[in-house]
Chains A and B, each alone.
Chain A
Amino acid sequence: MQFLPGAPQVDHMKNVLRLKTTLLLLAVGLSIGILFALQFQAPQTRVFNPVSPFIALQDSKTSLTADQADLKNSISTIRDEISKQQDSLKSTKKSTKGIVEQVEELKIIAGLTQLKQRGLVITLADSQSKDVTIDSIVHAADLRDIVNVLWGTKAQAISINDQRLVSTSSVDSIVNTILVNNTKIANPFIIKVVGDQSKMKQALLSGDNLKDILRRQKSNGLIYNVESSPEVTVTAFDGGFAIKHSKVKE
């Protein structure tokens, strides 16, 4: 179509421009309407919000973690009180002195007392390089292997991030979380061990035992440090044993 110069052509141009603007505003208005509709949908008649169960799970985790800390505190307190009671029994009732001493000895072996002696502090941590691979991070199995090597040197007491290892302890992983004694621990992992320093160092660093960890330390930047210390504090076990099915054979 060809337009001739003059007033009718200008009017036509104006009409086209107005129409274009109207159409553009219509499209923009419609988009905003759709976005608002998506943002503020009417509440569902059934539970449909996928966030609610996740938040509920996180809340449960937070409250259970707090309960765990409270229970552990109460257990530590009551164990101290029992020890004090038994101490006073030793002096007031001579006949029970022997059995109280037996309890005290067994508590040391069971890991119910804190130990402060010469030993090692071992640090195992994820590589600090940006490339995260299966070989550059710490796995629960690494901690289990180190612990097994340490028991092999007749170590007296071991803790991982202040969780004392006892006969019922397990070191587990859940996706990217590590649990010791059902308690979540986080990177870096500090293993404190009381025992023969040179024997333990030899076993940990010689390359005969922990080949995989030593390889990943060299090739993937896994952090693995072993340091001697004149006084290592290995905390007392603050968890529960719950012996329900075992009996001492008479």
Chain B
Amino acid sequence: MGKNSVLFIVMIICGYLLAQQLQVGGRLEQITDPTKSNAISVEVAELIKGNKKLQEELRTLQDQKSSLTESSSSTSKTDASLNEQVQELKILTGETVVTGQGVAITFDKSLQLTQLVDLVNALRNIGVEAISINGTRIIGSTVITETMGDVPLTILAVGSKDVLHDSLLRRGGIMEQIGSDGQATTKDTLEIPSIK
């Protein structure tokens, strides 16, 4: 084999290694892209939060099921278990006045419709249990209208007061995003009206 052939083979190996190096570099750049990693981190955080909620729901349902089984011979126990379920469903459907800790959010300037829709959506994502806007109860099927954002504007949200307060006011949080000078104050007791 001539010198040129040896050189040719060596160059092929060299080219292959170079290409490999460049490819690995490209892949690494993609993998270590902070935007991609950040997106997955937030997804993981949302999954953890969501799964915790699902586990709690599963526990509640298991308790409900076993109390129904145990109480099959006792009418009073059955009624108590069913009443508990009715109460929870009434909170969710807005058919009752709700009390509990939470936050009161006030605005001095009117909010646009999209800002209000985004704020209600953010409250739900944080884990709110009941909402009212200027005394109107907001449930899943409530339409948010432009006039709801008129001042004086007070939004009451029942849920974990600290989680709600900190999530609303964190840097880059919804209050900063909607860019309106709003105030969120924690409250030990709030009262949210029913839809009726």
Q: Which of B68-99 contact A (CB under 8 A)?
A: 68-69, 72, 75, 78-79, 82-83, 85-99
How many B residues touch the partner, as a band?
35 or more
- Contacts A175-B39, A182-B46, A243-B92; is A169 near B21 (CB within 8 Å)? no
Residues of B within 8 A of A58 (CB): 40
Cross-chain contact A245 with B100 (CB below 8 angstroms): yes
Cross-chain contact B140 with A166 (CB below 8 angstroms): yes
Cross-chain contact B39 with A174 (CB below 8 angstroms): yes
Q: Tell me the minimal C-beta distance from A185 to chain B in angstroms.
A: 12
Question: Is B1 at the interface (CB under 8 A from chain A)?
Answer: no
Question: Quick one: closest B residue to A59, CB to CB?
Answer: B44
Cross-chain contact A155 with B141 (CB below 8 angstroms): yes
Q: Tell me the minimal C-beta distance from A148 to chain B in angstroms.
A: 6
Question: Is B151 at the interface (CB under 8 A from chain A)?
Answer: no
- Contacts A85-B65, A93-B75, A151-B142; is A144 near B117 (CB within 8 Å)? yes
Residue among A31, A67, A152 making CB contact with B143, cutoff 8 Å: A152
Residue among A93, A106, A151 making CB contact with B78, cutoff 8 Å: A93
Q: Which of A144-184 contact B (CB under 8 A)?
A: 144-145, 148-149, 151-152, 155-156, 165-172, 174-177, 179, 181-184
Q: Which of B93-143 contact A (CB under 8 A)?
A: 93-102, 114, 117-118, 121-122, 124-125, 127-130, 139-143
- Which residues of chain A have a CB within 8 Å of any CB of chain B? 21, 24-25, 28, 31-32, 35-36, 38-39, 50-51, 53-54, 57-58, 60-61, 64-65, 67-68, 71-72, 74-75, 78-79, 81-82, 85-86, 89, 92-93, 95-96, 99-100, 102-103, 106-107, 109-111, 141, 144-145, 148-149, 151-152, 155-156, 165-172, 174-177, 179, 181-184, 239-249
